Structure 1
């Protein structure tokens, strides 16, 4: 067997080739992250493998930089194992000389593969990769909207501090339509009352009218907001509102595309408590092939909600925090699902109440529910059977 260890970086990669005994078959090879670099590596492997031995390649999941080389090597039919850098870091500690350079890193990755002390983070089929990409992009867009809303609130608090009391949701449709046209007290007071009524009536589909218009006018008249540089504040708020509306429209389109992709998989993921199509897509795509986890505890560790261990000599810490290693996307999705499941699923709700009765903080109890939910997730995906809540 021939083993290739690849240390991945943004612009270049370092590779080394060893045999099944750990003997190096070539010096460290530095290749650019390009077509030419991939071809150089492939040709080198073929020139060494004159006896047509099995070739196994190992590389670390360093950001997204490993993906192009991975896909090119996959086209050649090589067996590729993508490992979490944490696994090679722990293996590196076995070596007395721990000097850090790229050629040593490539060799250590090859050694990790040779000894088989790893679990893979493989790229699943194209649909799974697409589902993961879109799910992560949706989270990015959701966070972007949240940032824009916080900025908008900050500006409104300065120019129209009373506005927050006028609508139950500052970013609901009626409020957004009003802010798009008039967002300072001065602009609202200058607006014809009939026009204001028309905006509210149209946006709320008849629920809001003259009474709400008069309430808004009254609040604007008595506002204690700042009275300087109002044109700049107005311009900025209206720009932010347009960005919010645009990205929220994109999120709706994203969710539709995610739903289409999710339906391609024969999965009972949405039968889990607190899990709909959006969270289901995140959980499924971040986990990938459930068979790569030996048991549920491995999935918990991958999610990063296993407790970190603090030990020195005979001391073992008893108040340990979550490790927060692994997939932050999966961890976020599981926690969101747990917050719903803790109050709706009979089993998980009872478990949550039990933790609370033991004096645990709400978020600590939710963390315990999230951990239990991962065990349920492992069982559901492993058996490919729907979750059936117990009465």
Structure 2
């Protein structure tokens, strides 16, 4: 029984091969290219022949996607590759008294010893996501960038034009077009009324017009904001408005692509049919879960989605100390956002759970987590049974429903 640990990097990979007793059979490094891959394969086969043994598993950390080419190569050559969570590697480092200081050779050694020191990982293997997660994660990233740019613009406007009428909805198309042309009170006052009215009318499809342009000019005239003497605020606001417009256009393209790729997925269809669940949210959840057969129960899915309690205990007594932080953050975030949407749409079962938790004295954030937990329970049943959601009223302990979920 032989184990291989690979600490992956952009230009090279650090390797260690261990036997069943944890003794190093070979240490070295290879380049992250075809010659390096072939060199590693030859070395593995030589060690297998000389020891009359075979490689049981190859372990690596999923770091920056540097692992993907070497993983694909090794799997294509018949070897089992297991991705090791960094938290698992950190725990093994502690058991081996390696401390917190990292080195490439020590990391490869830790990875190679994973199968020997944590044999349960051989049973669980890798969690495989749906390829669609590449797009849903990109959308999540673009969404964060939109929020960041919006906050920058709000901070600048708070300094130079706190009376700006679209401050609360600064990321709307109309607001973006206004700020591209007239980012400060000085820019508004130096423009012609007709030009401002034309921009507002065109951007809003004639919802806003000359009266709104006049109101904007009056607010600019009376503004208490600081004077933008050197034009820095005007430059920052207009450039961020251009960035915001670009990012919003990109996210719409991503949404269209996700929707087009989700058309033939029955799980996404069933989940998005729940009132308050969009196709994009359903696709994000399904793509992070992957094959539902990877989860033995709804509780395992809830735990993976970060909606299970973190437990601690001593002397046989176990106590819940909040929500577990060991989770798939993408699934956790989407489940939480979906829970908020379900409550806002007053979807009966989920709205009832939210109100029940609020009456218990829970904060809204805590109540939404409970709703998200119930949502993941239903999603497990929907994906496991291949049948659509059917409403059930909350009864008893959270996570259980009377009469099942799908029929």
TM-score (norm 2): 0.84
Q: Does 1:185 align with 2:190?
A: no
Task: Report the alpha carbon displacement of residue 269 of structure 1 after superposing the two structures with TM.
Answer: 3.8
* Range with greater deviation from structure 2 (323-332 or 44-53): 44-53
Preserved CA contact (<8 Å) 1:59 1:109: no
Match of 1:329 in 2: 330
* Range with greater deviation from structure 2 (307-316 or 138-147): 307-316
Preserved CA contact (<8 Å) 1:311 1:317: yes
Structure 2 segments unaligned to the other structure (5+ residues): 100-105, 394-407
Preserved CA contact (<8 Å) 1:135 1:281: yes
Runs of 4+ residues deviating >6 angstroms: none
Match of 1:240 in 2: 240
Match of 1:278 in 2: 280
- The CA deviation string for residues 183-216 of structure 1, in whole angstroms up to 9 with x for no partner, is 2222212211122222222222222222112211
Match of 2:214 in 1: 214
Preserved CA contact (<8 Å) 1:3 1:114: no
Preserved CA contact (<8 Å) 2:146 2:248: yes
CA 166–230 in structure 1, closer or farther in 2 if over 3 Å, else same: farther
Query: What secondary structure sits across from 1:215 in the alignment?
Result: helix
Match of 1:169 in 2: 169
Match of 1:362 in 2: 364
* Range with greater deviation from structure 2 (230-239 or 57-66): 57-66
CA 228–55 in structure 1, closer or farther in 2 if over 3 Å, else same: closer
CA separation in 2, counterparts of 1:194 and 1:103? 68
Give 1:227-306 correspondences, 5 Å limit: 227-267=227-267, 268-272=270-274, 274-306=276-308
Give 1:109-188 correspondences, 5 Å limit: 109-111=114-116, 116=121, 119-123=124-128, 128-129=130-131, 131-163=132-164, 165=165, 169-188=169-188
Preserved CA contact (<8 Å) 1:84 1:121: no
- Partner of residue 102 from structure 1, selected from 88, 101, 107: 107
CA separation in 1, counterparts of 2:118 and 2:72? 19
CA separation in 2, counterparts of 1:340 and 1:115? 38
CA separation in 2, counterparts of 1:333 and 1:144? 17
CA 63–292 in structure 1, closer or farther in 2 if over 3 Å, else same: farther
TM-score (norm 1): 0.87
Preserved CA contact (<8 Å) 2:16 2:109: no
Structure 1 segments unaligned to the other structure (5+ residues): none
